[in-house]
């Protein structure tokens, strides 16, 4: 029988030009860090003082390991750190965020006491104008089977189903039941990540966390949660969630990559994932077309992306079966127009 790793906990921090926020983040992490832990920071080609800050902290904290690479993106940085991690449990912390003193210990205790494969916590957001908003959990996530994890939690992070659309027609906002799928609010087991060969999809530049989480959870047999804000998110204008949506071409191409990633997850799940995001597939088609109609995306680029998107079997099926309602006449008209005209036009025109 192999001896357990002397490292119980690995904290992964991907860093790219985060000098203004990094010292506070690292202070928080080391103040909360339990024994038998390591912190793995990957400098992803920073051009500010990020690497110097990391080196200064490493001189004071032997737990900190630093890796440097060219600017390949946050997913590549996290993958590099995963390859180097040796802890039984894995945490991710973004370098512009912070953690509460009990973040690591309370999450670990919960995982152990429940014998769970995965744990999430609530969090709070520090807005740019100074206000703080606490984001509570939207459900009680105590599951002891893979089917329960899929139905009760993966369905809340991977996309919008037709059931979500029908509730929307009845007056429930689409995001009401959706959980933030970020990896920084979760605790993972390294054994599951390695045994299932799970990596961050480096082709996806937005919502890559949801793909990673869903793939991990497809191999998990249990899940628990802590409805306490143990993590602090810092809102900033230079983050990916704000910058990528401003770039219409990058946003549209990312939707294609998400479609491919969900298709891969559906194959892994034996067909569970597809039903969970049929609504999202149609919404993505409509959003791409909207970008074109508002001249934010060139028609030549948009047509090429839509042609590829609509060539997939899951897109055509979702578009055909998408529920319509007179309560949302604009949405119904847009879907009907796509059914009648656009797929045929794209197929014919090269």
pLDDT grade for 1, boundaries at 50, 70 and 90: very low
pLDDT band at 235 (very low <50, low <70, confident <90, very high): confident
- How high is the pLDDT of residue 92? 98
pLDDT tens digit sequence for 168-226: 999 999 999 999 999 999 999 999 999 999 999 999 999 999 999 999 999 999 999 99
Contact assessment for residue 155 and residue 227, using Cβ atoms and an 8 Å cutoff: no
Q: How far apart are the first and last CA of the chain?
A: 61
User: Helix/strand/coil (H, E, C) string of 258-300?
Assistant: HHHHHHHHHHHHCCHHHHHCHHHHHHHHHHHHHHHHCCCCCHH
Of residues 162 and 313, which shows the higher confidence score?
A: 162
- Residue by residue, DSSP assigns 289-310 as HHHHHTTSS-HHHHHHHHHHHH
Length of the chain: 350
Kindly state the DSSP code that residue 49 receives in the 8-state scheme: S
| pLDDT of 238 above 70 | no
Residues 306-331 have a mean pLDDT of 94
Q: Which residue do the tokens 């969970």 mark?
A: 276
- Quick check: 35 pLDDT over 90? yes
Q: Percent of the chain having pLDDT more than 90?
A: 87
pLDDT given at position 236:
72
What local confidence, expressed as pLDDT, does residue 265 receive? 97
Residue range 36-59, pLDDT digits in tens: 999 999 999 999 999 999 999 999
pTM for the whole structure: 0.93
The burial of 330, by beta-carbon neighbours within 10 Å (0-12 exposed, 13-18 middle, 19 or more buried), is given as exposed
Q: What is the pLDDT of residue 344?
A: 59
42 neighbors 94 (Cβ within 8 angstroms): no
Task: Look at residue 243 and tell me whether its pLDDT is greater than 60.
Answer: no
Residues 6+ apart with CB under 8 A from 114: 142, 222, 224
pLDDT tens digits for range 116-142: 999 999 999 998 777 899 999 999 999
**Tell me, what's the pLDDT at 3?**
52
- Using 50, 70 and 90 to split pLDDT, how confident is the model at 349? very low
CA distances from 270 to 86, 103, 275 (A): 31, 35, 11
User: Does residue 305 contact residue 288 with C-beta atoms inside 8 Å?
Assistant: yes
What local confidence, expressed as pLDDT, does residue 128 receive? 78
Q: Can you tell me the distance from the alpha carbon of 145 to that of 273, in angstroms, rounded to the nearest whole number?
A: 16
pLDDT of res. 102: 97
| Cα–Cα distance list, 222 to 152, 256, 259 (Å) | 11, 31, 27
Which range is least confidently modeled, 95-104, 127-136, 322-331, 339-348?
A: 339-348
């Amino acid at each position: 029988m192999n001896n357990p790793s002397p490292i119980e906990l690995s904290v992964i921090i991907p860093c790219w030009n985060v000098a203004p926020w990094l010292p506070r983040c690292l202070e928080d992490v080391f103040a909360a860090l339990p024994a038998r832990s390591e912190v793995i920071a990957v400098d992803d080609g920073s051009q500010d003082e990020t690497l110097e800050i990391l080196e200064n902290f490493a001189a004071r904290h032997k737990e900190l390991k630093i890796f440097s690479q060219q600017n390949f993106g946050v997913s590549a940085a996290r993958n590099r750190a995963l390859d180097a991690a040796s802890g039984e449990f894995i945490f991710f912390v973004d370098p512009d965020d912070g953690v509460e003193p009990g973040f690591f210990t309370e999450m670990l205790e919960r995982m152990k006491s429940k014998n769970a494969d995965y744990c999430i916590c609530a969090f709070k957001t520090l807005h740019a104008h100074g206000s703080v908003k606490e984001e509570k959990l939207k459900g009680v996530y105590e599951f002891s089977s893979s089917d329960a994890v899929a139905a009760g939690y993966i369905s809340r992070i991977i996309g919008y189903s037709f059931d979500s659309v029908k509730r929307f027609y009845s007056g429930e906002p689409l995001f009401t039941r959706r959980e933030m799928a970020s990896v920084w609010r979760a605790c993972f087991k390294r054994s599951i990540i390695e045994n299932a060969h799970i990596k961050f999809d480096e082709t996806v530049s937005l919502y890559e966390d949801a793909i990673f989480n869903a793939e991990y959870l497809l191999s998990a047999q249990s899940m628990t949660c802590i409805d306490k804000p143990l993590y602090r998110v810092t809102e900033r204008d230079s983050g990916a969630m704000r910058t990528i949506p401003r770039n219409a071409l990058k946003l549209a191409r990312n939707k294609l990559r998400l479609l491919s990633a969900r298709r891969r997850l559906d194959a892994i799940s034996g067909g569970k994932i597809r039903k969970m995001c049929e609504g999202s597939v149609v919404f993505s088609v409509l959003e791409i077309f909207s970008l074109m109609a508002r001249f934010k995306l060139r028609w030549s680029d948009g047509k090429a992306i839509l042609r590829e998107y609509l060539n997939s079997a899951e897109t055509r099926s979702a578009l055909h079966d998408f529920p319509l309602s007179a309560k949302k006449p604009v949405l119904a008209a847009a879907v009907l127009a796509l059914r009648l005209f656009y797929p045929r036009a794209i197929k014919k025109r090269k």
